[in-house]
Amino acid sequence: MIFVTGGAGYIGSHACVELINAGLDVTVFDNFCNSQPDVLTRVARITGKAPTLVQGDIRDSAALEAALRASGARAVIHFAGLKAVGESVQNPLAYYDNNVLGTLRLLQAMTKCDVKTLVFSSSATVYGDPQRLPLTEDHPLSATNPYGQSKLVIEEMLRDLHRSDPAWRISILRYFNPVGAHTSGLIGEDPQGTPNNLLPYVAQVAAGRRAFLNVWGNDYDTPDGTGVRDYIHVVDLALGHLKALQRLALHAECRAINLGTGVGYSVLGMLRAFEQASGKPVPYQVAPRRAGDIAACYADPSLALSLLGWRAERDLTAMCTDAWRWQSSEKG
Ligand code: NAD
Ligand code: UD1
C-alpha cells in the first residue's frame, strides 16, 4: 500500500495510474483545493481499480495520522502542495503554511506511524538562475520566490531528518517541466483560470479559447531568443516515482535526483510542435520578458539513469499529441 498525498492532482493522478498498473494498492489523501474527486473515478476507469480516497488536509495532524495508520501503507509519495509562483509572491504565508508546515505535519505523522519511506516532489526551481548547464544535482541551490523557497526549506528539512535518523529512506525528485497527459485522454492538467505555464496556454490557443500566445521575450541568449526548458511527459515523470520506490526498498538514503529529459526546447519550438500535433494554428505575439524568468534550464538526467534505471521515453510529439487529446476530449 502506498499513501499518496495530493494524489488527485495533475502529477499525482498519473502516478496513481502507474502505481495501480504495477499492482500496488493506493490510498489518496487530498483536500481537493486544486483538483476534483472525479479524477479518481477516471483513474479507476483507466486501471480497473479505484484508489482508496480520504479527503483531508495534510495540516490536520489528527486526520492525517489516522488515515496513514488505517491505510497500512509502508511508503508515502508526497505531491500535496501549492505551486503557483506568482501567487506565492502575493501570499507567501499560504506557501509556508501549506507546503512547509504541511510537510512537517506529514513527517511527524509518518514518525508516529513508523513509516519512514518518502518520495518528495521537488522542482528544478531549487537551482535558481543556472550557473552552468545542464543542471546536475550538485549545482548550488537558491530560490527566487516563496514557492521555490518552500521547496528548498523542505529539502533541507528532509536532509536534516535523515542525518538524525538514517533509517529514513527519502527520494527528493526534482522535476523539470511536466507536460502532456495520459493517452486515454481521461486525466490531464486542468489549470484554474488563466494558465501560467506554457503548454496549457498553447493548448487553449489551439482550441480557440484564447486568441494568441504571448511569447515572454525573444531576446534571450538562446538559439531563437526565446526561453528554453526541459519539458517532460507526465507519464514518464510518474514512472520515475515507481523507480524511486523500488530503489528505496533497497537503500536507506536521502538523495535528490533530477527527473528531466536532458533536452531543452524553446518557446517557439514548442509552439511549432503543438501546431503539428494538433493541426491547429497557434498565433503568437512577442511580449516583454516575464519577471523572474531565466533564459534556459535543462537537466543532466544521468543520475536518474544510473541510480533508478529510469530515463524519459516519450518525445515532444507524444507530449503535444497527448496534451491535445486531453484538451480536446475534456474541454472541447
Ligand atoms: P496539483 O495542484 O495538480 O496537485 C496538488 C494536489 O495536492 C491537488 O490535488 C491539491 O488539491 C492537493 N493539495 C494541495 N494542498 C493540500 C493540502 N494542504 N492537503 C491535502 N491536499 C492538498 O499540482 P501538480 O502539478 O500535480 O504538482 C504536484 C507536486 O509537484 C507539487 O508539490 C508541486 O509543487 C510539484 N511540482 C510540480 C511541477 C509542475 O509543473 N506541475 C513542477 C515541479 C514540482
Ligand atoms: C514555471 C515556474 C517554476 C516551475 C515550472 C514548472 C515561474 C516563474 N516559474 O517555470 O517555478 O517549477 O513552471 O511548473 O512561473 N512562456 C511564454 N508565454 C506564456 C507562458 C510561458 O512565453 O504564456 C514561456 C516562459 O517565458 C518560459 C517557458 O515559456 O520561457 C516556460 O514557461 P513555464 O511553463 O511557465 O515554465 P517555467 O518558466 O520553467
Residue 99 inside a domain? The answer is yes
Closest CA to 328 of 171, 206, 234, 217: 206
High-pLDDT (> 70) share of the chain, %: 99
Q: For the residues 197-222, what does the mean pLDDT come to?
A: 97
Within a domain: 248: yes
Q: Is the pLDDT of residue 196 over 60?
A: yes
pLDDT tens-digit map of 126-168? 999 999 999 999 999 999 999 999 999 999 999 999 999 999 9
Average the pLDDT over 222-233 and give the result. Answer: 98
Q: How many CA atoms lie within 13 A of 53 on its CB side?
A: 19
- pLDDT tens-place string over residues 280-304: 999 999 999 998 899 999 999 999 9
> Is there a domain that residue 218 lies in?
no
The C-alpha cell of 108 is what? Answer: 511527524
Residue 86 domain boundaries: 2-181+230-262+299-312
Query: What's the average model confidence in pLDDT over 85-113?
Result: 97
Decide if 152 is inside a domain: yes
Q: Which amino acid is at 59?
A: R
- Closest to 188 measured CA to CA, from 23, 328, 19: 328
Which ligand is nearest the CA of 83, by number?
1
Average pLDDT value for residue range 167-193: 96
Look up the CATH number of the domain holding residue 169: 3.40.50.720
For ligand 2, the distance from its centroid to the CA atom of residue 124, given in whole angstroms, is 12
Cα–ligand 1 centroid distance for 222 (angstroms): 30
Query: How much distance in Å is there from the Cα of 329 to the middle of ligand 1?
Result: 23
Enumerate residues lining ligand 2, CB below 6 A: 85, 123, 125, 147, 177, 196-198, 201, 213-216, 227, 229, 267, 290, 292-293
Report residue 151 as a C-alpha cell. Answer: 521547496
Any domain includes 200: no
Residue 327 is assigned to a structural domain of this protein: no
CA atoms within 13 A on the CB side of 92: 8
Q: Do 124 and 144 meet the contact criterion of CB atoms below 8 Å apart?
A: no
- pLDDT at 331 > cutoff 60: no
Cα 186 to Cα 155: distance, rounded to the nearest angstrom: 33
Which ligand neighbours the alpha carbon of 190 most closely? 1
Residues lining ligand 1, Cβ inside 6 A: 5-6, 8-12, 30-35, 57-59, 79-81, 83, 98, 102, 121, 123, 175, 178
Distance set, CA 122 to CA 114, 174, 256, 327 (Å): 23, 5, 9, 26
Q: What is the mean pLDDT of the chain?
A: 97
Residue 280, domain member (yes or no):
no
Interval between CA 83 and ligand 1 midpoint (Å): 6
pTM of the predicted model, to two decimals? 0.98
When pLDDT is averaged across residues 204-223 and rounded to a whole number, the result is 97
| Structural domain total, the chain | 1
Query: Confidence class of residue 332 from pLDDT cuts 50, 70 and 90?
Result: very low
Residues 6+ apart with CB under 8 A from 114: none
Closest atom of ligand 1 to CA, residue 78: 32
In which region does residue 36 sit, left (phi positive, over 0), alpha (psi from -120 to 50) or beta (all else)? Answer: beta
For the chain, strand residue ranges (E) read 2-5, 26-30, 52-55, 75-78, 117-123, 169-175, 177-179, 213-216, 228-229, 231-233, 254-259, 265-266, 284-287, 296-297
Q: Active-site positions?
A: 147
Q: Residue 330: what pLDDT? A: 62
Phi, psi of 29, deg, nearest 5: -120, 115
Mean pLDDT of 219-224: 98
Does 323 fall in a domain? Answer: no
- Determine the pLDDT at residue 329: 87
Nearest CA to ligand 2 atom 7: 85
